[in-house]
Amino acid sequence: MDKFSDYPTSLTAPARDGAAIIPSDTIDLPFLPRAVYVGQTGTVVARMANGGSVTFANAQAGSFLPVRVAGISATGTTAAGLVALW
């Protein structure tokens, strides 16, 4: 039973789905997630939805990065267990 089925999907609503992220310097994600979950502490180099790049140094295991990313770069990313949430 889904007690939240009547709620609209928005950036403030809980995620409805997720998928593992495999970092790549050339391949973008097939969609823009609403957040990225960090499974293991490290650096996350994100290619943002607007085309810019941002480095999240020392992203902690178990944290969520509330960002819309086109992809996660393999070069420079040391965090693991990354999950896209939408």
Q: What residues does each domain of the chain span?
A: 18-85
- Rounded CA-CA distance 33/83 in Å is 9
Whose tokens are 């409805």? That residue is 16
Taking the mean position of all CA atoms in its chain, how far away is CA 55?
13
The pLDDT of residue 2 is 74
The pLDDT of residue 42 is 98
Q: How many CB atoms lie within 10 A of CB 20?
A: 10
- Rounded CA-CA distance 65/56 in Å is 9
The string of pLDDT tens digits covering residues 2-56 is 776 777 777 677 888 999 999 999 999 999 999 999 999 999 999 999 999 999 9
The string of pLDDT tens digits covering residues 72-84 is 999 999 999 999 9
Total number of residues shown for the chain:
86
What is the rounded radius of gyration, in angstroms, for the C-alpha atoms of the chain?
13
